[in-house]
Amino acid sequence: MDKRRKAAEVVAELENGMTIGIGGWGARRKPMALVREILRSPLEDLTLVSYGGPDVGLLCAAGKVRKLVFGFVSLDLIPLDPHFRAARQRGDIEVMEVDEGMLQWGLRAAMYRLPFLPIRAGLACDVERLNPELRTVDSPYDDGERLLAMPALKLDAALVHADQADERGNAQVLGPDPYFDELFCGAAERRYLSCERVVESSEMLEAGCVHSMHLHRALVDAVVEAPYGAHPTSCVPAYGIDLEHLKVYAGAKDEGSWQAYRKNFVDVDDAAYLEAVGGSGRIDSIAAPVF
């Protein structure tokens, strides 16, 4: 089955009020082309589940977010995201703030069709107090240990970005960390993958060993070819985090500068975006970040 689609077609399948999981981690391998497509759409009232980076900040700044399920929001090279902070400090969004490990555990429970998975993280701190919907469960074995029952985080849709994929949705990540993209897809009803290039399956094995084939096609409903589709986040080894652009993004705090940012970098087509951020040569030259 040929699953190739345009970003706008994918986003047109999303609906107001949906719970959407976004793969990647912080400022790393985020499906930003798909996120910008959501910004251009009339979608609203979304619940996001994310290891948050500029995906969360952009969607907050555009007023798309009702609720956020998160452990952190960070631009990595800039510790805090000002747009997410502003939304929180205005009281605009509801949050379910959980430990990073709880988040992937909830996705895993959803993928396995379990109601919850037991975990210690989150107990005996304010994660419990501030999320009264969380329940505990007592071990039925002799130890009797009380554990937190991390509920399944079921997603209506997942958005992830990879280096390469074939038209059936087998996908390859050439960077050093798959993050939790497989779980985001596993937890979701509809799974949308953007990638730098759509290639023949055999080409992927020329680019990297079989261990880099992190998503198989039963986890992917649509494949969107989106070169530089993770920018300004990284998609190493192809390109690193665009710190210069993130500074522009983070600096667009007041209404005027946010509208200017939107006009230059959001309300434009892919070609104009690429030109506005300095062109492919510039992005190709951005080195992988050193942490």
Partner 1 sequence: MSEQQAYSLAELCIVAAAEAWRNDGEIIASGMGLIPRLGAGLAMLTFNPDLMMTDSESLLLAEPAPVGPRGDYELKVEGWMPFFRVFDTLWSGRRHAMTSPTQIDRFGHCNISFIGDAARPKVQLLGVRGIPGNTINHACSYFVPNHGPRVFVERVDMASGVGYYDTRWQPGVNRDFMDLRRVITNLAVIDFEGPNHCMRLRSLHPGVSVEEVEKLTPFRLARDAEVAQTPIPTAGQLQIISERLDPHNLRAGVFKN
Binding site for partner 1 (CB under 8 A): 25, 52, 70-74, 79-80, 84-85, 88-91, 97-102, 104, 119-127, 129-130, 136, 138, 144-147, 176-180, 290-291
Q: Smaller CB distance to partner 1: residue 73 or 266?
A: 73
Give CA–CA dist 234/241, Å, rounded.
Answer: 4
Three-state SS for 274? Answer: helix
Q: Smaller CB distance to partner 1: residue 128 or 270?
A: 128
Give CA–CA dist 225/202, Å, rounded.
Answer: 17
What is the nearest approach in angstroms of partner 1 to the Cβ of residue 275? 30
β-sheet bridge partners, residue 20:
48, 157
Dihedral sign for Cα atoms in the order 118, 189, 54, 93 = negative
What is the nearest approach in angstroms of partner 1 to the Cβ of residue 283? 20
| Spacing of C-alpha 41 from chain mean position | 18
What is the nearest approach in angstroms of partner 1 to the Cβ of residue 27? 12
Dihedral sign for Cα atoms in the order 229, 198, 47, 118 = negative
What is the nearest approach in angstroms of partner 1 to the Cβ of residue 66? 14
What is the nearest approach in angstroms of partner 1 to the Cβ of residue 215? 14
For 87, the token pair is 């939304």
Q: Smaller CB distance to partner 1: residue 14 or 185?
A: 185
Nearest-10 crossing angle of helices 32-40, 54-61: 0
Distance, first Cα to last Cα, the chain:
41
